[in-house]
Amino acid sequence: MRIIMLMKLLKDIINFTSQKKYNFLLSFIFFHSIFVAFYMTADRTFESEMQIMSSDNSMSQLNLGSFSSFLPSGIQGQSKGVNTYSSIIKSKTFAQSIMMKEVNLNDNNFIIYDIIVDTYKLDNKNQDIELNNVYNFFKNELISVRHNKITNIATINAYTNNPFLSQALLEIVLEELKDRLKKYNIDGKASNRDFILSRISQLEDQLIEVEEKYVTFLQANSNLESPALLVTKKRIEREIGIKENLLKELLAELEISQIEAKRENQMVIDVIDSPRLNPSKVYPRFGLLLILSLGISIITPFIVQYKKIFLDS
């Protein structure tokens, strides 16, 4: 029974198609006219892409060796990994810094903020509203950041109406990100240095206290033949030895930390693919619009005659 109904429906569709060629032609012309008008008037969007990853090696980058276990959780792991790049790039302070940079287009220098306001009609009499509009447009429309958790690679894209502007914007984003990550890294290592200095001061005080305790013990017990006194002596000596060894290690780590805190030429990002120039637009896509227009122009006559074809069948 179902097969018979399907066969009848298919026959009705074929008959309708052959009888309503004019309707399909009108639908084709109508929707393709809309498609052509949209394609000709829509703003072109050009994309630039780069891929980067972090060059930091977790705790090893701090050069703290075995002492890292003594660091509090807030001090450990000062590096900003790839998973934080999106939050950094799309932060308001980052966007504002990017907006004030200059970009060279056709041998002329332009402020990125002015280009965005003029090109995308974001100007407003209220300066605060205008700044907020530009920031929202930057993070939602101009920049895209994707993090691949498997490869730990970040893919960053810029979308503007000019292929050279997209590439230049991405290059500025890359340099600003490098500068910020270096600052975060240096600030983190400065915190590590300050923490080590405080631990050294504490250890020195503790060592002096134990040494004074040892001197007092020896003065009070000139005869150390008693087993209990010998054990007490060894305990005090062991405590002094532990604190001396830890102090030596801390002093060595302090030297490394002081050097790292002043190091400006560190690598924080590995660039896998530099920002590339892509002269081919990514929007609007001619092929996608053509397929969509064809599909709609074919389906529309069936929708208009839905009752006649499907319900009557």
pLDDT in tens, 274-286: 998 887 776 556 5
Q: Report the SS3 class of residue 209.
A: helix
Query: pLDDT, tens digit, for every residue of 125-157?
Result: 898 999 999 999 999 989 999 999 889 899 999
**pLDDT surpassing 90 at residue 304:** no
- Residue 279, judged by CB atoms within 10 A of its CB (0-12, 13-18, 19+), counts as exposed
- What are the CA-CA distances from residue 29 to residues 35, 38, 39 (Å)? 10, 14, 15
For the chain, what is the mean pLDDT? Answer: 78
Query: pLDDT, tens digit, for every residue of 10-38?
Result: 555 555 566 556 666 677 777 677 776 66
pLDDT of residue 62: 39
- What distance lies between CA 292 and its chain's CA centroid? 34
What is the C-alpha to C-alpha distance for residues 108 and 191, in angstroms, rounded to an integer? 43
- Please name the residues in contact with 294: beta carbons below 8 A apart, sequence gap of 6 or more: 28
pLDDT of residue 306: 58
**Could you count the other beta carbons within 10 Å of the beta carbon of residue 97?**
15
pLDDT band with cut points at 50, 70 and 90 for residue 105: confident
**pLDDT surpassing 80 at residue 166:** yes
> Structural domains in the chain?
1-42+284-313 (no CATH), 43-283 (3.30.1890)
The token duo for 63 is 């050069």
Q: Give CB contacts under 8 A, 24+ apart, made by 285-292.
A: 286/39, 289/35, 289/38, 289/39, 290/35, 292/35
pLDDT of residue 272: 92
**pLDDT surpassing 90 at residue 64:** no
pLDDT of residue 73: 45
Considering only residues 252 and 79, tell me which one the structure prediction assigns the higher pLDDT: 252
